[in-house]
C-alpha cells in the first residue's frame, strides 16, 4: 500500500489564522483527496486533485500537488473554531478505486 | 444529511457473540467499502465491493466477512467477537468512475 503521512500530526492555531497541512505519499497516483473527520464521526470529502493538476481551490480551501516530490498541502484560510477536526489525505493509484488514507493531522482552532 | 447509514452507532457486546454491522446507501453507488479505525489513528481498508455479488478483502487482515446481495446494502459480520475487534468501523461508498467517497457516521464497537 502507499498510505500517506500527514505533517504535522497536530496543529493548534488561533481563529482567523491560516492552517497548512502537508501530505507525503510513496508511489504514482491517479488523484489525491482530502477528507475531514470530526471526533468520533465519519469522514467528509473536501476536495480532489488529479495527478495532472497542480493547484485547486474550494472556498477557503487551497490544495497543491507536487508529483515530483510526491507531496500535497492543504491550506485552510481564515480558520474558524468549527474547522477543528482531523484532516486526512488519501491517494488512489492505478486502475483501482480503492483509497489509501494517511495518518491524519489533528487541527484545533482556538476561538 | 447522510445518504449512507450505519447501524448501530454504538455497540457493546460480550466475547464470542456474533454481530452484524449494517450499512446502507441510497445513492445507487456501485462501490462500497469497510474501513477500520482505532481512535486517532489512520483508516485501514478491510473489505470492499465493486458491485452485487462481488466482495474482496482489503489490505488489513480481518476476521470479519461481508456480503453484497443488493446494491444498497453491505453488511459486515463478525462470527465470534473478541476484545481485539474493539474499534470504529466506517462504511463508505462511491460511484463508478467517480473517486470521492461518501462515509457513514461509523459504528463504534466495544467487545468486553
Distance from C-alpha of A78 to C-alpha of A59, rounded to nearest angstrom = 11
Q: Tell me if B100 and A45 make a contact (CB, 8 A cut-off).
A: yes
A to B CB pairs, distance under 8 Å: 63
pLDDT, tens digit, for every residue of B35-46?
999 988 889 999
CA-wise closest residue to A70 among A102, A35, A36, A37: A102
Instruction: Give all strands (DSSP E) within A1-111, no chain letters.
Output: 5-7, 10-14, 19-24, 31-37, 43-50, 55-58, 61-66, 71-76, 85-92, 99-101, 105-110
Cβ neighbours of residue B100 under 8 Å, at least 6 residues apart? A33, A45, A48, B94
Q: Are B85 and B109 in contact (CB under 8 A)?
A: yes
Residue B96: pLDDT above 60? yes
- Partners of residue B94 in chain A, C-beta under 8 Å: 97
Q: What is the mean pLDDT of chain B?
A: 92
**Residue A5: closest CA among chain B residues belongs to which residue?**
B42
Distance from C-alpha of B57 to C-alpha of A98, rounded to nearest angstrom = 11
B11 vs chain A: nearest CA distance in angstroms? 14
CA-wise closest residue to A19 among A7, A11, A27, A9: A11
Distance from C-alpha of B84 to C-alpha of B15, rounded to nearest angstrom = 10
pLDDT, tens digit, for every residue of B27-77?
999 999 999 999 888 899 999 999 999 999 988 878 899 999 999 999 999
Q: Tell me if B108 and A43 make a contact (CB, 8 A cut-off).
A: no
Interface of A with B in 65-104 (CB under 8 A): 86, 88, 90, 92, 97-104
Q: Tell me if B101 and A40 make a contact (CB, 8 A cut-off).
A: no
**CA quadruple A67, A70, A75, A81: dihedral positive or negative?**
positive
- Partners of residue B33 in chain A, C-beta under 8 Å: 98
Written as nine digits, the cell of B49 is 465491493
Distance from C-alpha of B11 to C-alpha of A109, rounded to nearest angstrom = 31
Amino acid at each position: 500500500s502507499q498510505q500517506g503521512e500527514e505533517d504535522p500530526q497536530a496543529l493548534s492555531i488561533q481563529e482567523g489564522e491560516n492552517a497548512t497541512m502537508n501530505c507525503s505519499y510513496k508511489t504514482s497516483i491517479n488523484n489525491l483527496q482530502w477528507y475531514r473527520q470530526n471526533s468520533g464521526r465519519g469522514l467528509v470529502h473536501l476536495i480532489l486533485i488529479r495527478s495532472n493538476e497542480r493547484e485547486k481551490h474550494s472556498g477557503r480551501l487551497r490544495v497543491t500537488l507536487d508529483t515530483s516530490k510526491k507531496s500535497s498541502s492543504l491550506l485552510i484560510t481564515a480558520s474558524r473554531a468549527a474547522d477543528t477536526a482531523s484532516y486526512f489525505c488519501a491517494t488512489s493509484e492505478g486502475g483501482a478505486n480503492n483509497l489509501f488514507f494517511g495518518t491524519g493531522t489533528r487541527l484545533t482552532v482556538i476561538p | 444529511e447522510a445518504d449512507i447509514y450505519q447501524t448501530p452507532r454504538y455497540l457493546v457486546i460480550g466475547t464470542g457473540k456474533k454481530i452484524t454491522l449494517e450499512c446502507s446507501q441510497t445513492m445507487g453507488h456501485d462501490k462500497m467499502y469497510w474501513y477500520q479505525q482505532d481512535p486517532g489513528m489512520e483508516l485501514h481498508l478491510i473489505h470492499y465491493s465493486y458491485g452485487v455479488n462481488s466482495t474482496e478483502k482489503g489490505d488489513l487482515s480481518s476476521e470479519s466477512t461481508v456480503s453484497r446481495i443488493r446494491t444498497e446494502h453491505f453488511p459486515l459480520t463478525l462470527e465470534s467477537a473478541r476484545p481485539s475487534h474493539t474499534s470504529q468501523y466506517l462504511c463508505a461508498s462511491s460511484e463508478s468512475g467517480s473517486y470521492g467517497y461518501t462515509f457513514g457516521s461509523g459504528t463504534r464497537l466495544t467487545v468486553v
